[in-house]
Structure 1
């Protein structure tokens, strides 16, 4: 055997011993009675479920906005986009409703206009079979609590959407200034 073959054989033997070492105690020990002792009983408990998103609130009747008007002359909000002739009927109804609120000055909070707050709020809307809003919550906020609450108020004031409206849907509500 050459010196190189000897090194290879020694390395192979050492490798086998290192791999077998963790199993040696189990192989060498013999049970005293010939049987393995019974394993302890296994117990399992389910952890309580953690809520992954904020709780869904049932909507109270909409209240009038009691916010005070800003003293400074605020920038004017962008006019809502024209209602497209295409698309589902319920989408047109939502757009028309938001435009109506904007024309009445009930959509964009005056304080937010004065402070230049803009953003988009993603609202989860749940409807009953008659097209009435029975639940809503903010899925993604704008970063401004006033805008988030205004979006919830606007969506909760929807009434009698058409039958083609889905029972659950996400509605983006955008607040933009000129």
Structure 2
């Protein structure tokens, strides 16, 4: 038993000195680095957005009197007129209205009217792959309804442009 106490007492004293040294010596044992300089405060500037270019859909070339009129080489699903795609959009919007999907019931109840200008992009099959509001109607409810109506468009004719600004009008009778 005596042999065990002989090793424990010096170990206890050494441990006590090691643990008490930081409190007794203060900053003498711990060398602290000077604090890092504070970074300068962040600064931000607002810049005006660049103007969005207006998309102008080119008119189909008119045949000159010297050249005979030729039919387009791409087959069209809805006739040979150059506005077949706009007629198709009108028909699809009418079907959405008949199904109660076009004009929101809440907007009708509130008597909201307006016109939203929607930018849409089509894929090669004539389906809408992207749409965004370019100019709102003044009512979020109508803007969201216009986006949803445009996103539901399917299988537009081959003569439809791949990118177009489409006005979507909401009018009460």
TM-score (norm 2): 0.54
Q: 2:143 matched to which residue of 1?
A: 148
Q: 1:175 aligns with which of 146, 170, 173?
A: 170
C-alpha contact 2:82 2:159 (8 A) present in aligned 1: no
Deviations 1:104-160 (A, max 9, x none): 111111111111100000000101111111111000000100100000000000111
Aligned to 2:125: 130
Q: Which residue of 1 aligns with 2:35?
A: none
1:118 aligned onto 2:109: no
Cα distance change of structure 1 residues 53 and 147 upon mapping to structure 2, 3 Å threshold? farther
Q: How many angstroms does 1:87 deviate by?
A: 5.0
1:67-111, Cα deviation, whole Å (9 max, x unpaired): xxxxxxxxxxxxxxxxxx965111111000000011111111111
Distance 1:87 1:123 in 2: 21
Instruction: Could you tell me which runs of 5 or more consecutive residues in structure 1 were left unpaired when the two chains were aligned.
Output: 1-48, 55-84
Instruction: Find the aligned partners of 2:165 and 2:100 in 1 and give their Cα distance.
Output: 24
Q: Secondary structure at the match of 2:116?
A: strand
1:107 corresponds in structure 2 to 102
Once the two structures are superposed, the pairs formed by residues 1-178 of structure 1 within 5 Å of their partners are: 52=50, 88-178=83-173
Q: Which structure would you say has the larger Rg?
A: 2
Change (3 A) 1:116 1:87: farther
* Whole-angstrom CA distance in 2 between matches of 1:99 and 1:53: 34
Distance 1:138 1:98, change over 3 A: same
Is there any run of 5+ residues in structure 2 with no aligned partner, and where?
1-46, 53-79
Runs of 4+ in 1 over 3 A off after TM superposition: 49-54
CA distance, structure 1, for counterparts of residue 51 and residue 152 of structure 2:
23
Secondary structure of 2:130 counterpart: strand
